[in-house]
């Protein structure tokens, strides 16, 4: 089975890019399933039911979230109605929303969940390593394979999670930094790993936000709004080939597709 995994979708430019171009990419590359992190989909911070549905309609079958999960103020009331969306699994259990997704494609069942890292991250969450052990154990008998997203700031915490789950899941992949890493590979136990998928949004930016505002904040320390940028929009992530019999990875390949790569 071939999957396209996409990094954080940023704002309207990210959503519009997927609506306009995802289906042709999927067709051309014979992709069975598309997953993405949607934590920055609405105005760059959080997600709403409306934006989640827009992304779903564009062809993203499963949407994960991160530390910005509750940034849009009514989303806690909307998330339970969205069966293709899950919130991080190691948030307090009283938080609304599904903590995992089980998706079925042509008779193959895939389990998917996200854990938040704890180093340089805001939310107070349970141990991501213990949580991932628990959820993998709960999913392994009912799913043909499992994917685990580690939404975290540091590459060391992400890479540690990769080795922790190696051989038990098809892939461990990172999100949150909005910058793709060039370390995609198959680990010794057979799981694919990439520290960060990058983002789906405008790259003439600082992590998807307007350059002058972000730069100004660093230069003079004054607070200012950092709106979502517009230029050089594209999608970043990876193409993952999974062996459904073993539940492990066969290959993983970086995806970095931008408007300037489009035909015509």
Question: What x-and-dash track marks residues 169-208 binding Fe ion by CB under 5 A?
Answer: -------x--------------------------------
Tell which one of 1, 4, 6, 8 touches Fe ion (CB under 5 A).
8
Query: Which among 21, 68, 151, 176 is annotated as catalytic?
Result: 68
The site that binds Fe ion (CB under 5 A) totals a number of residues, namely: 6
Asked if 182 and 252 count as a contact pair (C-beta separation under 8 A), the reply is no
User: Looking at beta carbons only, is 64 or 166 nearer to Fe ion?
Assistant: 64
Task: Check residue 51 for interaction with Fe ion (CB under 5 A).
Answer: no
Compute the least distance from the CB of residue 64 to Fe ion, in Å.
11
Asked if 23 and 57 count as a contact pair (C-beta separation under 8 A), the reply is no
Task: Check residue 66 for interaction with Fe ion (CB under 5 A).
Answer: yes
Calpha distance 245→188 (Å, rounded): 18
Asked if 56 and 15 count as a contact pair (C-beta separation under 8 A), the reply is no
Tokens found for residue 172:
């461990």
CA 61 to each of CA 5, 30, 95, 165, 183: distance values in angstroms, whole numbers, following the listed order: 11, 15, 23, 24, 26
Q: Is the dihedral of CA 167, 170, 176, 177 positive or negative?
A: positive
Compute the least distance from the CB of residue 72 to Fe ion, in Å.
14
Tell which one of 18, 22, 40, 173 touches Fe ion (CB under 5 A).
40
Stretch that binds Fe ion, among 60-68, 103-111, 120-128, 221-229 (CB under 5 A): 60-68
Stretch that binds Fe ion, among 20-28, 53-61, 62-70, 111-119 (CB under 5 A): 62-70
Asked if 84 and 66 count as a contact pair (C-beta separation under 8 A), the reply is no
User: Looking at beta carbons only, is 67 or 149 nearer to Fe ion?
Assistant: 67
Asked if 63 and 55 count as a contact pair (C-beta separation under 8 A), the reply is yes
Tell which one of 6, 17, 51, 67 touches Fe ion (CB under 5 A).
67
Task: Check residue 158 for interaction with Fe ion (CB under 5 A).
Answer: no
Compute the least distance from the CB of residue 151 to Fe ion, in Å.
6
Using DSSP's 3-state secondary structure scheme, residue 38 falls into coil
Catalytic site residue 151? no
Contacts with 156 (C-beta within 8 Å, 6 or more apart), sequence order:
119
Provide φ and ψ at 187, rounded to 5°: -75, 170
CA 235 to each of CA 8, 10, 95: distance values in angstroms, whole numbers, following the listed order: 9, 10, 30
Task: Check residue 44 for interaction with Fe ion (CB under 5 A).
Answer: no
User: Looking at beta carbons only, is 59 or 66 nearer to Fe ion?
Assistant: 66
Compute the least distance from the CB of residue 10 to Fe ion, in Å.
7
* Beta strand pairing call for 2-6 and 185-186: unpaired
Compute the least distance from the CB of residue 37 to Fe ion, in Å.
7
Compute the least distance from the CB of residue 39 to Fe ion, in Å.
5
Task: Check residue 118 for interaction with Fe ion (CB under 5 A).
Answer: no
Residues noted as catalytic? 68
**Interacting residue ranges for Fe ion, rule: CB under 5 A:** 8, 39-40, 66-67, 176
């Amino acid at each position: 089975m071939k999957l396209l995994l996409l990094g954080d979708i940023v704002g309207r430019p990210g959503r519009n890019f997927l609506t306009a171009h995802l289906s042709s990419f999927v067709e051309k590359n014979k992709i069975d399933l598309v997953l993405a992190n949607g934590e920055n989909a609405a105005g760059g911070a959080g997600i709403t039911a409306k934006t989640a549905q827009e992304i779903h309609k564009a062809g993203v079958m499963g949407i994960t979230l991160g530390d910005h999960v509750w940034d849009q103020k009514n989303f806690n009331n909307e998330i339970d109605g969205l069966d293709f969306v899950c919130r991080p699994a190691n948030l307090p259990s009283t938080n609304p929303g599904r903590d995992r997704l089980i998706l079925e494609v042509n008779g193959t069942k895939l389990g998917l969940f996200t854990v938040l890292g704890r180093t340089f991250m805001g939310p107070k969450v349970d141990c991501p390593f213990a949580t991932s052990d628990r959820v993998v154990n709960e999913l392994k008998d009912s799913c043909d394979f499992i994917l685990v997203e580690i939404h975290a700031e540091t590459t060391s915490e992400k890479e540690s999670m990769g080795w922790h789950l190696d051989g038990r899941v098809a892939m461990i992949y990172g999100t949150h930094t909005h910058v793709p890493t060039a370390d995609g590979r198959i680990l010794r136990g057979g799981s694919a790993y990439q520290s960060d998928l990058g983002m789906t949004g405008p790259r003439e930016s600082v992590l998807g936000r307007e350059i002058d505002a972000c730069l100004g904040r660093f230069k003079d320390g004054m607070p200012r709004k950092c709106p979502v940028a517009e230029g050089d929009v594209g999608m970043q992530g990876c193409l993952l080939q999974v062996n459904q019999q073993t539940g492990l990875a066969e290959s993983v390949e970086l995806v970095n597709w931008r408007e300037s790569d489009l035909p015509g």
